Structure 1
Amino acid sequence: MTPHQVKLVQDSFAKVAPIAPQAATLFYDRLFEIAPQVKPMFKGDLDEQKRKLMSILAVVVNGLDKLDTVLPAASMLAKKHVSYGVEAAHYQPVGGALLWTLERGLGEGWTGEVADAWTEAYTTLSGFMISEAYPQTKAAE
């Protein structure tokens, strides 16, 4: 990611952060709509999961300019998600739900440039997490 893309992601996330509870609800509603097969993986308190999502997003977004500090935690998170039944294929609908949520949360602030920056950020991070959690997937490519 370029420094400009990092700034776009960070600035746009700062605009969504004040509506974090609503954004998290939008995200999970959309995720369960486009990937209903993942809903049974969420056995605990969904409100707590929503808080965790927004908290983790904040850490990652704020660490984009120093990825080396974020990647170890992302690796652990990816490996932990395997035990919940998460598969590499699930990252695609999660990304779709995230981008959809951001588009709604940002309204007119969701420009093509912002969308491209978020897509790059998600693609970079999810690709890393998939390679960490499913190393055989990377070897098969």
Structure 2
Amino acid sequence: MKPIIISVGTLEAVLKMSTSPVDVKQYYPSYVNANSSVSIEQFRSIQESWQTIHSGEYALFKEQTLVSDPVGFWGLQFYDVLFEIEPSLKPLFKNKFQQAKMLTEMINAALNLLPGTFDETLGEERLEIDPKLIPVLQDLAKRHLQYQTKAKHYEPIGLAIVTTFDRMLGARFDNDTKAAWVELWSLICSVMIPAHVEQAQQMEVEP
């Protein structure tokens, strides 16, 4: 039986909110699913992999002694991977430690608004995306233009997220979990890139 689909039609809904005459799909990463849909099982896999990072129960973290926070360690590794994939981004992120902290805090906040976690208010597992996530992601996309972030940067960032998980978790980051994160990044791109492009047009800068 096919899993329940949580986020069908998100891209179309976001595109209707945008007044941009530009086809934003041209800015999407090559691996992104433009009509992303994420099942509850995929959301659970996503949440579980992030909780494994939180627990510190992964070899690369245990093998080092310099960083005591397992989530912070993941964040630092992410930027190492990102600069390996796209060295031109290094000047945009001058304080790797501060950026890692901000990134992991953002991931924590976003995942708390996604299905697959226990909602204390509801007293049960969250099964739908909290609508508050959409404006949060749109605002994040607009603010990152101040740091000279381009729409083309969403491609290496997504690759770096998946690659970092792969290196940190090894065999536990299986193909199904990897596919779930790609679908989630596709969903995030479908929200952030239209907002990014529209804001760039208003600022009269290159998207």
CA deviations on 1:35-67 (whole Å, 9 max, x unpaired) are 111111123x32111111111011112212224
1:10–1:62 CA contact under 8 A, matched in 2: no
> Within the alignment, does 1:34 sit opposite 2:85 as a pair?
yes
Provide TM-score, normalisation by structure 2: 0.62
Residue correspondence of structure 1 range 121-136 to structure 2 within 5 A:
121-135=184-198
CA distance in 2, matches of 1:36, 1:17: 28
Give the C-alpha shift of residue 25 in structure 1: 1.5
Residue number in structure 2 paired with 1:3: 40
* C-alpha distance 131-67 of structure 1, shift in aligned 2 (>3 A): farther
Where 1:93 maps in the other structure, the secondary structure is helix
Residue number in structure 2 paired with 1:64: 114
2:142–2:196 CA contact under 8 A, matched in 1: yes
Q: Provide the identity percentage.
A: 30
Moved more, 14-23 or 25-34: 14-23
Give the C-alpha shift of residue 135 in structure 1: 3.2
Residue correspondence of structure 1 range 1-141 to structure 2 within 5 A:
1-18=38-55, 19-43=70-94, 45-65=95-115, 66-135=129-198
CA deviations on 1:12-47 (whole Å, 9 max, x unpaired) are 11101242122111110111111111111123x321
What residue identity is the alignment partner of 2:52?
Answer: K
Higher share of residues assigned helix: 1
* C-alpha distance 89-67 of structure 1, shift in aligned 2 (>3 A): farther
Larger RCO (alpha carbons 8 Å, 6+ apart) = 1
CA distance in 1, matches of 2:172, 2:109: 22
Unaligned runs of at least 5 residues, structure 2 = 1-37, 56-69, 116-128, 201-207
CA distance in 1, matches of 2:106, 2:178: 20
Unaligned runs of at least 5 residues, structure 1 = none
CA distance in 2, matches of 1:81, 1:30: 20
What residue identity is the alignment partner of 2:160?
Answer: A
2:142–2:199 CA contact under 8 A, matched in 1: no
Residue number in structure 1 paired with 2:28: none
- Over the aligned positions, Cα root-mean-square deviation in angstroms equals 1.6
CA distance in 2, matches of 1:36, 1:106: 24
Give 1 or 2 for the bigger CA radius of gyration.
2
CA distance in 2, matches of 1:136, 1:58: 25
Where 1:99 maps in the other structure, the secondary structure is helix
Where 1:64 maps in the other structure, the secondary structure is coil
CA distance in 2, matches of 1:17, 1:126: 25
What residue identity is the alignment partner of 2:176?
Answer: E
Moved more, 60-69 or 34-43: 60-69
1:31–1:94 CA contact under 8 A, matched in 2: yes
CA distance in 2, matches of 1:67, 1:37: 35
